[in-house]
Chains A and B, each alone.
Chain A
Amino acid sequence: MVFNSLHFLVFFGLITSAYFLLNHKYRWLLLLFGSCYFYMAFVPIYIVILGFTIVIDYFAGIYLEKFTGQKKKIFLAFSLIANIGVLAIFKYYHFIDQNIGFL
Chain B
Amino acid sequence: MKKIVAACIFVACVYLLKVSVSENSMKEITESRYQSTGMFSSSKYKYGDLFGLTYLKDFMLKEDRFPNKPLNIKKNPENLSLHIISDSYVFGPFADKKEYFSRARNLKFYPWKDKNWELPKLDSNLINIAIVEVIERERAYVLNLDNIKSRLSINNENGKVVVSQQQQQHFFLLKAINTTQQFFKFIGSIFYHKNIDTHLEFVLFDFEFLLPFKLWKADLNYHVFNRINSDVVLSKDGKNLYVKSTIDKNSPGSSFREIDNKEIENQVFQMNEISRYLKLMGFQKVLFTLIPNPVSVLKTELQPMNEFVNRVQNNPKLQVEFLDLNKELSKNPDFYFCRSDTHWNSNGIDLWIYNVNNYLNSIPQ
User: CB within 8 Å of B: which residues of A?
Assistant: 5-7, 10-11, 13-14, 16-18, 20-21, 37, 40-41, 44-45, 47
Contact = CB atoms under 8 A, between A and B. Distances in A.
B188 interface: yes
Contacts of B5: 17
A23 B313 CA distance: 70
B201 A6 contact: yes
Contact of A40 (B9, B17, B191, B197): B191
Interface of B: 2-3, 5-7, 9-10, 12-14, 16-17, 20, 180-181, 184-185, 187-188, 191-192, 196-197, 200-201, 204
Contacts of A44: 184-185, 187-188, 192
A11 B17 contact: yes
Contact of A17 (B7, B181, B187, B188): B7
A21 B181 contact: no
B73 to A, nearest CB: 48
Contacts of B6: 16-18, 20-21
Contact of B191 (A6, A13, A37, A45): A37
Given A6-B201, A6-B204, A45-B181, A14 B10 contact: yes
A17 B2 CA distance: 10
B6 to A, nearest CB: 4
B200 A17 contact: no
Nearest to A22: B6
B188 A40 contact: yes
A7 B200 contact: yes
A20 B197 contact: no
5 contacts: A7-B197, A16-B9, A17-B5, A20-B2, A44-B184
The 10 residue pairs across chains A and B that have the minimum distance between CB atoms: A44-B188, A14-B13, A17-B10, A17-B9, A6-B200, A44-B184, A17-B6, A45-B184, A20-B6, A13-B13
A20 B2 CA distance: 8
Q: Is the interface of A mostly helix, strand, loop or mixed?
A: helix
Nearest to A42: B192
Considering residues A10, A16, A18, A40, which has the most beta carbons from chain B within 10 angstroms of its beta carbon? Answer: A10
Contact of B192 (A5, A41, A45): A41
Contacts of A16: 6, 9
Contacts of A37: 191
Contact of B14 (A14, A40, A41): A14
A10 to B, nearest CB: 5
Nearest to B193: A7
B191 A10 contact: no
Contacts of A20: 2-3, 6
A45 B146 CA distance: 29
Given A6-B197, A14-B13, A14-B17, A21 B180 contact: no
B9 A13 contact: yes
A45 B181 CA distance: 7
B12 A13 contact: yes
A45 B20 CA distance: 21
A45 to B, nearest CB: 4
Contacts of A45: 180-181, 184
Contacts of B181: 45
A13 B15 CA distance: 12
A5 B197 CA distance: 7
A43 B110 CA distance: 31
B184 A18 contact: no
A14 B14 CA distance: 7
A13 B17 CA distance: 11
Nearest to B186: A44
Nearest to B196: A7
